[in-house]
Structures are given as structure tokens and as C-alpha cells.
Amino acid sequence: MQWETVIGLEVHLQLATQSKIFSGSATTFGAAPNTQASAVDLAMPGMLPVLNEKAVRYAVMFGLGIGAEIGMRSVFDRKNYFYPDLPKGYQISQFHDPIVGRGEFEIPLEDGTTRTIGITRAHLEEDAGKSLHEDFHGQTGIDLNRAGTPLLEIVTEPEIRSAAEAVAYLKSLHSLVTYLGISDGNMAQGSMRCDINLSLRPAGTTELGTRTEIKNVNSFRFVEKAIRHEIARQTDILEDGGRIVQETRLYDAERDETRSMRSKEVANDYRYFPEPDLLPVVIDAAYVAGIRAELPELPNARRERFVRQFGLSAYDAMVLSDNRELADYFEAVVDACSDAKMAANWVQVELLGQLNRSETALTDSPVAAADLGGLLQRILDGSISGKIAKQVFEAMWQGEGSADAIIEARSLKQVSDSGALEAMVDEVIAANPAQVEQYLAADGARRKKLLGFFVGQVMKSSRGQANPPLVNQLLAAKLGERNTDR
């Protein structure tokens, strides 16, 4: 039977605030255990939460970024469960009245088309602490530094149909939130964690099958692998006439499999109720309008502009607009050389190639955008060929200075002086009498081919520095003269 995959994603996005959502503790990653856990985070008696304005602002920015309804009056609720890394015995979250309501998110796909994924809601909540199960004499160690870190939980409609679409969604989401500056998007540090709800149904039907939930997957690659694995697992069960058990599963990256989390004795029942320690959050139209006015150009708008303004292909525009630093870099190169297509090629092939090979972040690139633009200008004005430019770029990468300085120091300037070129052309013609004979005897098509031989020889004797169009021109003229001599 043909099965259709139905996926909904819940992303827990860590918001880039300085302090926690309900307390004035720092949120810095990697601090010594429990040094950023205040009396509020520890749930000491009598402590009360006070909401961080920045967390509200960031949530609204996200909502505006996906054109969602903004909850002008949102309410916090208690989600009750017991776990040692949750000292209060409940997580403060939002249930009935989230700060961000329904929205839509357009994502670019590799093939140049786009797909729109419905966003059900996004709500604010606090993160829990961390449990360390390593050997503490049979006990568990608790670090509450992360407790109270602001999270935005972003929930999609069950509209995602494949692992590739899920990854495309997550990449677009990552791009959006880093453009907005509301999260550092550092997946390795857990700033973006993903829960995957997945079910299968016979293709062509509309009723949803029984789903499983895969918790806490924290890289694009693992999301893809976990989904592929879970689709295969569920397909096997259904094809054998079995039933899917609704349960929470964990993805084990080492073994590349999902496995059931030991089922709790009592199924989850969070008994949500309004948080009495916090009043409803009411924001007004002026507050939202102020935030809207400050929104930067977002990835989708920028991608479309790259196509419109620079004539880039949909794919190039997608790659170059994907992250804000890269898009800014690309635009700065265009500003410096005013040839967008050349800039797009060089940024994608040479620059990204070097960055990948050397595992360097763009922000640490030894070649600044203006310098790369300067190099491309030398190609455009005929000073050097594209081939020589690659050598110059390599030298710039090694820190040997600007394009002009390197071209000067290594005498790489293209020979465009026709006197000097003429001498070289004469030399080549004199040195290859047999080829000259062949050339003169040949017809049009074959002549072109043989002319290529001479061009190659001249380029070789000039160590690649001869201006190729000029060489072509000179050779054709000189060999033509011989033709009439005959």
C-alpha cells in the first residue's frame, strides 16, 4: 500500500535575552552549575515571577515575521508535572491564550519552488533545568542554570509530508529567527530543539493515523534521520497488519534508531490552570506597531529581491539570503564590483568553499566583502583573468594583502599591451611551423580548433597573463596575413 506521511513539528526556540523570563538571573551559556539560578528559579517559598519585556517583544516579532495573529491579551498557565529539574512542580507556559496565534510560513525548497506551512500557534514558556545522570554515587545531579530561560514554542499544523520538507522548514525557521535576532539559533547549544509528531495514513485518505512523538532532536541532520527511521518503522508495522502505539520515542543518533521512552506509570495529564502569580499580559496596537516598524528585511523578502534586483536564479537567491551575515556580505561585494552575477558565483564557489574547507565562520573570514569586490573589479576591468583571480584570492585568504597589492607584488597583471603580445604571438607562430601549415590548409571549423592551440601556447608563454580576447584577435590577424601571402 502507498502510505502518506503526516508530520507536525514543535520547535522550542531559546530567546536571546540577557536575563531569564521570570527572574533577573543571567542566561549565559556554559556558566558553572547553579551560579545563574536565583531564588525565583529555585522556587524558594514566596518568590514571584515577573515577566521579561524582551521575551514578549521577541515573541511579537516572530508573530509579525510570519504574519500571525498577535494575542493582544495572553495568559500564562501552569503545566503540572514532577521532575527534579523543575523545582516548582509546574512549568509556567501558555495554554488557551498564546501570545502568537495562527500564521503561515512560506519556505523555499531546493528546486526553486516554495511551500506554505501553517503555524498553529507560538507561546512563551520557561525552560527546565538539566539532569545529569552520570555517576553521582547512584544519584542524579541537578543544574538549574537553564531553569527559567525563555522559550518560544512554535507549533506547526500537521502539513509536513517528508523528512526533506521538515528540514527545509527548520532551516527557514532558523533563518527567520536569526534575521529577527530573537535567538542565536545555536543548535549545538540547544537553542533550537525539535519534537516530531509523525503518523502514516493510506495515500488519498484524510483521517489521521495514530502518531508517535520523537522528543528533543537538536540538529537538522538528526531530524532528517529520525524521520526517515520512524517512517520505515511505522511502515513495517502497518504492512504487517500491526497497530501503532501512541507513545513518546527518543532518537538515538549513535544507533540511528528511535526507541520507546520507558512509559510512565501514569500517562501525562498536565492539569493546566491559569497561573495565579501572573496577571494577563495585555499589549496595545501602538506597541505592536512600534515593533513592526523596526522589523528588518526578512529572508523571504530578501530572497525575492535578489531575484528581482540582481537577476539571480531562485536557488542562488535562496543560498545567498539564507543567513543575514552572508546576505549582507554578498550585497557588499555587489556594491564594490557592481556585477551581481559574478559576485554570486564568487561568494558561493570560492568564498563558501574556502570557509567550508577551513571550517571558518563567515564573520571570521580573512577576506572582507569590500576586498573581494576589489578583486572582482580587476577581472571586470581586464587587469586579470578569472583564472589568475583564483590565485589572487588564495593569496588574499593567506593574508597577503589586497587584490591590487598581490597583483602588483606578483606581477600578475594581464598583458594587454599589444606590442608585447605581438612579440609573443610571432614567437609562437615561428616556433610551430607544422601547425601553421595545418591551419592554413584547414577549413573554417577546423581552423577554430587550431586557433585554440595557438591561443593556448601564447597563454602558456605569458604564464596565463595575456589578455585572451586580445590574443585571439592578434593570432587571427597574423595567421590571416599568412593566408593572403600564399
Binding region for other proteins (CB under 8 A) = 17-19, 23-26, 32-39, 42, 50-56, 73, 75, 80, 82-84, 96-97, 131-133, 136, 138-144, 261-262, 264-266, 269, 271, 274, 276, 278-282
Which candidate, 237, 225, 161, 167, places its Cα nearest to that of 4?
A: 161
CB of 114 or CB of 248, closer to other proteins: 248
Helix or strand (DSSP H, E) at 471: helix 468-485
CB of 53 or CB of 297, closer to other proteins: 53
Report, in Å, the least distance between residue 135 CB and other proteins.
Answer: 10
DSSP code string of 410-451: TT---B--HHHHHHHHHHHHHH-HHHHHHHHHS-HHHHHHHH
What's the 3-state SS for 68-101?
CCECCEECCEEEECCCCCCCCCEEEECCCCCCEC
Report, in Å, the least distance between residue 266 CB and other proteins.
Answer: 5
CB of 58 or CB of 105, closer to other proteins: 58
The x, y and z cell numbers of residue 75, run together, are: 495568559
**Residue 417 amino acid letter:** D
Do the Cβ atoms of 209 and 199 come closer than 8 Å?
A: yes
Report, in Å, the least distance between residue 34 CB and other proteins.
Answer: 5
CB of 95 or CB of 220, closer to other proteins: 95
Residue 410 and residue 402: Cα distance in Å, rounded? 12
Helix or strand (DSSP H, E) at 167: helix 163-180
Report, in Å, the least distance between residue 41 CB and other proteins.
Answer: 9
Which candidate, 246, 236, 239, 241, places its Cα nearest to that of 209?
A: 246
CB of 39 or CB of 477, closer to other proteins: 39
Report, in Å, the least distance between residue 179 CB and other proteins.
Answer: 20
CB of 207 or CB of 284, closer to other proteins: 284
CB of 140 or CB of 186, closer to other proteins: 140
Report, in Å, the least distance between residue 115 CB and other proteins.
Answer: 35
Helix or strand (DSSP H, E) at 484: helix 468-485
